[in-house]
Structure 1
Amino acid sequence: MDHRLNGYGQPIGLPVELDLPRPLPPHTPLRGEVATLVPLSADHADGFFEVFTDPAGWTYLGDETPFADRDAARAWTATKASSRDPLFYTVLVDDRPVGFLSLLRINPQAASIEVGFIHFSPALQGTRAATEVQYLLMRHVFEDLSYRRYEWKCDALNAPSRRAALRLGFTFEGIFRQALVYKGRNRDTAWYSVIDSEWPARRTAFEAWLAPANFDTDGRQRQSLSDCATG
C-alpha cells in the first residue's frame, strides 16, 4: 500500500522517516575502477576543447553552443566551475577530461536531485567508464547523501538520452508538453526517475555489469546491463 488513512478517512501519503533537509552535495571526487569524477575546473578547458569536436553533441544541451575556439572553451569552463546548481563534475579517464555531467535542481527538503547537463565525448560514449560514472554518482546520491529521488530529464526528441535513461534503470514518468523554450525552439520534456527503494537492485545490476569478468579480452560486454538487472 502506498498510502494510509487519516482520522477523517482520507488517503494520505506514508510517513517519511528521514531527517530533512538532507545535506547539499559536497563537491568532492568520486573514484571508480576505470574513471573518476572530479569537480569541474578551469584547468579542464583545453581538454574539453580537444575532445568535443562534434558540434552535433551540443544540440540538446540547453542554450550551450560548440566552442568557437580555446578562449571560448576557457570562458565557458570557468563559468561552470563556479556554479553550485548545477554542480559540475568532469569525467577523467587516464587523467584526461573526456566529458562532464552535473547534479542540479538540488532540493534538500524533498531529498530530490537531478542528474543532467551530460556531455560525453566520442572517446567516452558507449564505454565501461561512461556507465561507471553514472553508477558512482547515483550511489553517491542514495548512499552518501540519503536522497529519496534521482531524476533524469531530457528533450523528448532526444532519443539517445531517452534510451540511456532506460538502460540505466530509470522509470519513465511521462512527457511535460511545451515545458521549455531553448535555442529558440520548443521543448517537450521527458521525465524519468529512480527512487531510493529501487536503488539496491539497481546497484546489484550495475556492479554485476561493471565486474571485470563481464568483459572479454577485447573489452566487449558478455551480459548487457538489462540482462544483469533481470538476472
Structure 2
Amino acid sequence: MSAEDGARANAHGQPVGPALPGWSPRPHPPRAALQGRLCRIVPLDPERHAADLYAALGADPARWTYLPAEPPASEAAYRDRLAGIAASSDPLHHAILDAAGERALGLAAYLRIEPAHGVIEVGHIHFGPDLSGRAAGTEAMALMMARAFDGLGYRRYEWKCDSLNAPSRAAALRYGFTFEGIFRNAIVTKGRSRDTAWFSVTDAEWPRLRAAFAAWLDPENFDAAGCQRRTLHALRGA
C-alpha cells in the first residue's frame, strides 16, 4: 500500500489507516429547518404536509416502484402512514417545501445515522413534479449535504438505491457521489429481490462539491428561460 493511500504502519509493521486526532462522535441531526433560495426543508409534520404530499406523490404509482411502500389508498391513509414515520429519529424524515414554506413538494430523510463513525445516509427521497428535475430539488440535496458536512462534521455521506433505479443512480452521479459497487441480493422488498447500488461523498470531496452547488444555483447560471448555462458536472471539473 502506497503513501498515496493514506496508510501508515503500526508497531507490528502492518498498514493501518490514517489517524484521526481529536475525533469525537458527531451530533445527531437536529429537527430543525433549512432555508434555501428555492426551497425550505422542515421536519415532517403529517397534519401540515399530508394533503400537499398526497396531491404531489399519491396519484402516480410509478413514483412508488422503488420505494418500500405501496401507494396509499387515500389521503387519510397517507396521513396515518406519515404520522408513523414522522415519529422516527432514524430515519429522520423531512418535508421539502416551496421557498415560502407554504406547500410541501416532496420528502427526504437522513438514515443509517452513525455518529460514532461520522457516517450518514440520505434516502427515502420522494420528489413530486415540482422538485424532480428542478433546481429546487438540487438545492434541497445540497442543503442536506451541507448540514451533514459543515453543520455536523460527518465524514461520509451515503446514497443507496435499487440497482435497477436508473433515475436515482443518475441523480447520485449528478450530485457528485462516487459509485462504490453493487451489493447483490441485498434485500427482499415487495416480494422481489433487490440488488443495491452504493454511492458516497467524503468530507475531503465536499469542498469541491459545495463550490459547484453554489455556482450552479447562482441565478446567473440560468438564462431567461430558466435553462442552466453550465452543468453541475462541468462546474465540479472547473
1:218 is matched with which residue?
A: 225
Among all aligned residue pairs of Structure 1 and Structure 2, give the percentage whose two residues are the same amino acid: 51
Q: Which moved more, 1:28-37 or 1:43-52?
A: 43-52
| Structure-to-structure mapping, 1:71-110, within 5 angstroms | 71-93=76-98, 94=100, 95-110=102-117
Which amino acid in 1 is paired with 2:7? H
| 1:22 partner SS | coil
| Pairing partner for 2:72 from 67, 85, 92 | 67
1:57 aligns to 2:27 (yes or no): no
User: Structure 2: which 5+ runs fail to align?
Assistant: none
2:30 is matched with which residue?
A: 26
Which amino acid in 2 is paired with 1:188? D
| 1:118 partner SS | strand
Is this contact kept in 2: 1:116–1:152, CA < 8 A? Answer: yes
2:170 is matched with which residue?
A: 163
Which amino acid in 2 is paired with 1:102? A
1:14 aligns to 2:18 (yes or no): yes
Which amino acid in 1 is paired with 2:66? Y
Deviation, structure 1 residue 65: 1.1
> Post-superposition, which runs of at least 4 consecutive aligned residues in structure 1 deviate over 6 A?
none
CA distance in 1, matches of 2:87, 2:12: 50
CA displacement 1:34-74 (0-9 Å, x = unmatched): 10100010121111111112111011012x11121111111
Query: Structure 1 length as normaliser, TM-score?
Result: 0.97
| 1:216 partner SS | coil
1:206 aligns to 2:213 (yes or no): yes
CA displacement 1:8-37 (0-9 Å, x = unmatched): 211011101343211111010000001010
User: Structure 1: which 5+ runs fail to align?
Assistant: none
CA displacement 1:105-136 (0-9 Å, x = unmatched): 00000000000000001121111100000000
Q: Which moved more, 1:141-150 or 1:69-78?
A: 69-78
| Structure-to-structure mapping, 1:109-124, within 5 angstroms | 109-124=116-131
| Pairing partner for 1:39 from 43, 51, 59 | 43
Query: Structure 2 length as normaliser, TM-score?
Result: 0.95
> How large is the Cα RMSD of the aligned pairs?
0.9
CA displacement 1:75-132 (0-9 Å, x = unmatched): 0111121111100010001421010000000000000000000000112111110000
CA distance in 2, matches of 1:136, 1:105: 18
